[in-house]
């Protein structure tokens, strides 16, 4: 498992999902799976952060 994750504000997540829905409507993106939406959102939105300290506290 990677030590990186992304942080999203509620507004940023709304913007990402709105963008995804608009792209599906214009047939620019493949809407086949929820995983595709999650992957696109993770790749294009959010702030990357190191979660290793969090993982160390839970071991």
pLDDT digits (tens, 9 = 90+) for 35-58: 888 888 888 898 999 988 888 777
DSSP string computed for 7-24: E--HHHHHHHHHHHHHHH
Q: What is the pLDDT of residue 39?
A: 85
Give 11's pLDDT tier (boundaries 50, 70, 90): very high
Question: pTM for the full model?
Answer: 0.60
Question: How many angstroms separate the CA atoms of 59 and 48, rounded?
Answer: 22
Q: Give yes or no for residue 1 having a pLDDT over 60.
A: no
Write down the pLDDT at residue 20.
82
DSSP state at residue 27: T
Which pLDDT score is estimated for 10?
94
Q: Which of 50, 38, 45, 36 is nearest to 5 (CA)?
A: 50
């Amino acid at each position: 498992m990677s030590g990186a994750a992304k942080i999203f504000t509620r507004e940023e997540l709304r913007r990402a999902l709105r963008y995804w829905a608009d792209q599906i409507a214009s047939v620019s993106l493949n809407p086949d799976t929820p995983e595709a939406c999650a992957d696109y959102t993770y790749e294009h939105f959010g702030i990357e952060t190191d979660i290793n300290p969090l993982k160390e506290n839970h071991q």
